[in-house]
Chain A
């Protein structure tokens, strides 16, 4: 494993480059196919409203997959992610238009652990609402 960031080069508070990830209905259809999660709340507006949602929502696992990209892009080596956990707090609502929704992710080093490991805490919002809570990754640096 060869993360490009050195353990000695980061401190508690070091910020990772923030990213924004767009998501449209087409994105959700593609993710449904790739992941095998065909729950209609992710592509069928009529069904979503019938079960009490405001509109079609993104798969929580899609949002989780986007958020960790801030970490994997930073380390260079996706295999450097040792632990990753989130709480799904609010849905990402994806309107049926050309714009869709935007998932905004920032992260910072929250703790330096033994064995070249650091804990990164992520902040993940959409439409100014926090969509993932307790979003944390432990990564092994060089």
Chain B
């Protein structure tokens, strides 16, 4: 069954703040094998003009995806999460995420389409820090593959 178009434009309440820790950034950088010192050494980050270590460009996804869970698991929307795959991902950074940030995410459904039985949902996550400064926007396209005919 096609998803309800009236959900397009719906914005969910901001998430509780996620506090970005130096060790979490280090753990992420190690997991992707990236040895850039700006991720682990505050002095190296300061030399680049940042107040503390910065996170790799895709780090923020784990925060925005958790926020997108509000949309994915909204029973009124009725997305079949067991059939969901990640279609596209895009980030627009105002500044890099850094240690000490307390980030909240506001998710909005930007689009809903049904193509060949697949439900496609576009979610925009606006990430702000504690002072209200806009840090990054994340666009996530999720595709719920059509169920096989019974």
Task: Determine if B89 and A64 form an interchain contact, defined as CB atoms under 8 angstroms apart.
Answer: yes
Which A43-97 residues have C-beta < 8 A from chain B? Answer: 60-62, 64-66, 68-69, 72-73, 76-79, 81-88
Residue A87 contacts which of B27, B39, B88 (CB distance < 8 angstroms)?
B88
Q: Which residues of A contact B58 (CB under 8 A)?
A: 61, 64-65, 68, 84
Which residue from chain A places its CB closest to the CB of B66 in the assembled complex?
A: A36
Task: Determine if B89 and A72 form an interchain contact, defined as CB atoms under 8 angstroms apart.
Answer: no
Q: What is the distance, in angstroms, from A83's C-beta to the closest C-beta of chain B?
A: 5
Q: CA–CA, A87 to B120, complex, Å?
A: 14
Binds A, one of B9-17, B92-100, B108-116: B92-100
Residue A35 contacts which of B61, B88, B96 (CB distance < 8 angstroms)?
B61
Q: What is the distance, in angstroms, from A44's C-beta to the closest C-beta of chain B?
A: 15
Task: Determine if A78 and B39 form an interchain contact, defined as CB atoms under 8 angstroms apart.
Answer: yes
Tell me what chain B mostly uses at the interface: helix, strand, loop, or mixed. Answer: mixed
1/0 per position for B37-79, CB-CB distance to A under 8 A? 0110000000111100010111001100110000000000000
Q: Quick check: is B7 within 8 A (CB to CB) of the other chain?
A: no
Task: Determine if B48 and A85 form an interchain contact, defined as CB atoms under 8 angstroms apart.
Answer: no
Task: Determine if B89 and A85 form an interchain contact, defined as CB atoms under 8 angstroms apart.
Answer: yes
Q: Quick check: is A99 within 8 A (CB to CB) of the other chain?
A: no
Q: Which residues of A contact B4 (CB under 8 A)?
A: none
Q: What is the distance, in angstroms, from B50's C-beta to the closest C-beta of chain A?
A: 6
Using CB atoms and an 8 Å cutoff, list the residues of chain A in contact with chain B.
1-2, 21, 27, 30-31, 33-37, 60-62, 64-66, 68-69, 72-73, 76-79, 81-88, 134
- Name 29 A/B residue pairs within 8 A (Cβ), A-sorted: A1-B48, A2-B48, A34-B24, A34-B28, A35-B28, A36-B62, A37-B62, A61-B86, A61-B89, A62-B32, A68-B57, A68-B58, A69-B34, A72-B34, A72-B36, A72-B57, A76-B48, A79-B49, A79-B50, A81-B57, A81-B96, A83-B90, A84-B90, A85-B88, A85-B90, A85-B91, A85-B139, A87-B87, A134-B88
Using CB atoms and an 8 Å cutoff, list the residues of chain B in contact with chain A.
24, 27-28, 30-34, 36, 38-39, 47-50, 54, 56-58, 61-62, 65-66, 85-93, 95-96, 139
